[in-house]
Amino acid sequence: MSDMFSVTLPSGAIWTPTFVAALDEEKCIGCGRCFRVCPRGVLELVGLDEDGEHIALAGDDDEDDEYEKKVMTIAHKELCIGCTACAKICPKKCYTHAAAAAL
């Protein structure tokens, strides 16, 4: 793991964060739990149409939206700090996290 990004905690312990890498849209039920716990604005709820394409949600007026279901997406992966709160709270085990290569 020496070539992976890690930080030294105040205790002196080494911690290797694992960052959000993938989200399984097949399993996702769009419950929004992960969105609520993410402290970094990484995630975004979108509509998924019958062709598997993402559709931006209109906000408070859903009536004309043509989507099959709502799914969470990783909208801003670069903002992730690797806390894994999203994976811990997800009831469907949608998330894959991975350590990052050190620069």
Residues that bind ligand SF4 (CB under 6 A): 20, 23, 28-34, 37-40, 42-43, 72, 80-86, 89-92, 94
Nearer to ligand SF4, 24 or 53 (CB): 24
Distance CA 102, CA 23 (A): 23
User: Which tokens in the block code for residue 37?
Assistant: 């716990």
How many C-beta atoms surround the C-beta of residue 1 within 10 A?
9
CB of 67 to ligand SF4, least distance (A): 14
Nearer to ligand SF4, 12 or 49 (CB): 49
Q: In which residue are the tokens 């709502």 written?
A: 70
Nearer to ligand SF4, 12 or 74 (CB): 74
